[in-house]
Structure 1
Amino acid sequence: MVSDPFDITRIERPDPALLRYYILCSLASGPLFPLVLIPLLCRYYTLRYRFDDRGISLSWGVLFRSETYLTYKRIQDIHLNRNIIQRWLGLATLTVQTASGAATPEMKIEGVLEAEPLRDYLYSQMRGTRHENDVSESTLPPASISSVPAGEEDVLQLLMGIRDSIDVLTRRIATMEERQ
């Protein structure tokens, strides 16, 4: 019997095992069970994923709707997390990090049964968008487009990323000095 190849477009909602996980986590809170369960139920029933050729979209919420969209080229790192209950239920949480400098992950993809194939897919997309040879005019200064030798676009993009990081750090230091 041949298994179906991994299809990223099938992942639109979390697996029903995530609901069981949320209920177990709520039960562990003891008498606060209803207060913990209600927001988790709202999150479970409104949680939606969309993977397209440019990035990932994640949305949830009833009263306060949250939507996050990440392009593959912004992804810096992907972590696969499973606690003992998640392993028992076959679940995993993928945390996607960007270079935003935040201490928390930019996106958490919860309730995924096919975590390893999804992680591998995201890594391939992340690397694929970084190593494409289609350097657009919007990423390069106009004067340097014609001066880049063929095959060195990746080096130029790396250097420009370093320059941008230094600019961000310089602005942060200036802001911290102004506060003092």
Structure 2
Amino acid sequence: MQEKTIITISRQFGSGGKEIAEILAEKMGVRCYDRQILYLAAEKMGDTEVDIESILESAYRTPDSSIGSMGTYGFEAVPYYNKMFREQAKAILKIAEKGSAVFLGRCADAVLRGHPDCFSFFIYADEEFRRERAGTHYGSQSLKELEKENKTRERYYNYYTGQKWGDPQNYDLMINTSRFSPDAAAELILDYIEKRQEA
């Protein structure tokens, strides 16, 4: 694997995407950035005393009455009143400039689109698999509750990127974890990247 490799993981809630991102980071010897991006953005905005739930609520806010997207203008085109997304994008870009990293969510695939060292993956799973994980990994939540979270992610992603969340054209590879363990999925991703870098 090349010295600088950046991976973005987008995922359905309940598919095991977070585990895969953490495994990838461990195997690569780099950091996995998820909620840390929110803290960095909040710090830039001067909101260091805000609790995580408030930060998350702010991070997923999308105005209902406005049309927004990064489009071809980049993240600076995002309306000023949602500075949280703008600061998250800046943090992602700054980290990516420094070296290898794994990013989980936060529209990192769109923020880093066109970056020569970046590879993006979408993790999803069958309903039955996610229903089972909802009960064992997410405090006995129902599949309906997981789908509600997915809708929030989809709305957020679509609003800020102008693209469709889960569209295969946005990713290098999509992996169904109903058929792969997290370790096997991570190995598949690393193998894919190595083959691409060798090409």
TM-score range, shorter chain: under 0.3
Q: Which has the larger radius of gyration?
A: 1
Q: Which has the higher strand share?
A: 1
Identify which of structures 1 and 2 has the higher relative contact order when contacts are C-alpha pairs closer than 8 Å and 6+ apart: 2
| TM-score calculated relative to the size of structure 2 | 0.24
| TM-score calculated relative to the size of structure 1 | 0.26
